[in-house]
Structure 1
Amino acid sequence: MTTFRYVVDNLGGNTAAAILRSYIKPKSLCSIASAYFTVSGFELVANQLEQCKRFRLLLGAEPGADPLRMAILDIWKNIDIRDSPKQAERAVKFFSQENVEIRLHPGPFFHGKTYILNHPEPIFEKQNNITTTEESERYRPTQLIYKGPTITKSDNAAALVGSSNFTYGGLYQNAELNLFDASGESTIELLTWFEERWQNSKDIKEEFLKLLQGYYKPFAPFWIYAKALYELYKEDLEGPEEGKPGSTIELADFQTAGYKSA
């Protein structure tokens, strides 16, 4: 029977989550670029990521979409299925560490996702003038020149590139299409691509943590009761619309006009 060597599609147990769990090494450096993130996706590989020396997550949702809102919707949807509040608490503990960073790419939207595992220190120099003698049609110039250590076989550098978002569906459930490079040959080029976007992205760590913390921190019964009362009576508390009298009696337009001119 023929088996896939490079393709990872989440079918027949050939999941992206299994690849990440198998290849992420303790005390390693890992960088992930994804349009979206969910705590249920993080939970699939949390045991491995928590042992990383440094971790970077770059989110790049399409225009008009909010990757943080998707993370919250995932929590609510799976509260009874996967105990997502506890997953959120674990994610907050992980992302609160100094060696863990998270940024949001301002655009243009990148649809490709990459998981760069056990990579060397991302040491780059920027050059202003780009010159090349290469004639390949596939060549794309970059201002960043990698100056870090040479990758050796013992580094176990690897990379997964394709359609899988850093979500439960992307890593485990959906039918996806990714290519896996276990040799590390593509690591420096992918790391350069990642660094280009990372340097121009916005740090959203504080916003990200505050958002997730609100979904597992316990509240005193008084505040739950106060919130319920506010939602029930907030229209009365906020007062009448501008230009309308403060009355519970519905007035016709000519009556409202008479009130305003009185």
Structure 2
Amino acid sequence: MGSGVAKPELAVNQDGATVADALNGFIGHAAEGLAHDVRLDIATAYFNVGGYSLIADSLDKLHSVRLLIGAEPGPPERRARALRSEPVNARRAELRRVGDLLASHEEALAVDRDLLGFTQVADASARRLVEWLRSGRVQVRRLEDRFLHGKAFLVAAHGHGVVSGSSNFTRAGLSTNLELNLGNYTPHTVSAVAEWFDELWETAADYDLAALFEPRFEAHPPQLVYLRMLWERYQADLAAEEDATAPRSTIELTSFQKDGLWRARKLLDEFDGVLI
């Protein structure tokens, strides 16, 4: 199945083997077996800390890494559209769709970051990722004018090889999802994949992936943290209170009286009674 072998031909999450095992063997062999400094090129739609952590030790052995990310095409639109007399600019429509999905893509990256939790392991993994991204050995770009559906882990030096298939650079993609990836070590095929990657890389825009995770480690005063907790807990109540206490009384009330009135009404609605 390609579990840790130097040149895996099949990389799947099945029968005790994982895609991460195969990639660790593939990357480790390239880093230790090739004479010159080795660069790994990665194309993926999605990325998260969990995926990085599975192959982080192998990545640390490399001289450089180019990481290309981008949005995958979503399902086709099925909403009704008004007929137009003027022709539709297909390219403009495609760019608009790419832009919409890139926004969703960035939101998905942020959601994954926010779901990391605050365990020592999660914190250490995120810190290690930021240090790696800021090490000067890693370049990150995002494809912004087209969708990126292809996934590949490529070492082009000396035609070493490419592992390509369905796996995104995520924990699920490298360890649990039902994935299928094939390794190819034929020089002319590796060269063709390298040309494909280079063409996309040249059209992609620099993307500061580390900046997405760095705010996690910013120091905040306890008072600000407490105020934020209060806001998250009571913001819906405050909005409802503002709506409910509008012009329902002819008596001018102070702010604390308005608050008491609203809460009394709320308790009446919930419990059919209130003690004042």
CA RMSD of aligned residues (A): 3.0
Q: 1:110 to 1:248 in 2, by over 3 A?
A: closer
- Gap runs ≥5 in structure 1: 121-150, 241-245, 253-262
Secondary structure at the counterpart of residue 101 of structure 1: strand
Q: Structure 2 counterpart of 1:220, which letter?
A: P
> Mapping of 1:1-262 within 5 angstroms?
6-24=9-27, 25=31, 27-62=37-72, 63=98, 64-65=101-102, 66-79=104-117, 83-117=121-155, 119-120=156-157, 151=158, 157-205=160-208, 208-231=209-232, 249-251=245-247
- Gap runs ≥5 in structure 2: 3-7, 73-97, 249-276
TM-score, normalised by the number of residues in structure 1 = 0.68
Match of 2:263 in 1: none
Q: 1:18 to 1:251 in 2, by over 3 A?
A: same
> Deviation of residue 247 (structure 1)?
8.7
Query: C-alpha distance in 2, partners of 1:82/1:72?
Result: 20
> Deviation of residue 232 (structure 1)?
5.3
Query: C-alpha distance in 1, partners of 2:116/2:233?
Result: 27
Aligned residues: 207
Secondary structure at the counterpart of residue 215 of structure 1: helix
Q: 1:83 to 1:69 in 2, by over 3 A?
A: farther
CA contact (8 A) 1:113 1:163 kept: yes
Q: Percent identity?
A: 28
CA contact (8 A) 1:30 1:115 kept: yes
> Deviation of residue 10 (structure 1)?
1.4
CA contact (8 A) 2:69 2:148 kept: no
Q: 1:68 to 1:91 in 2, by over 3 A?
A: farther
Query: C-alpha distance in 2, partners of 1:217/1:11?
Result: 40
Q: Structure 2 counterpart of 1:39, which letter?
A: V
> Deviation of residue 110 (structure 1)?
2.5
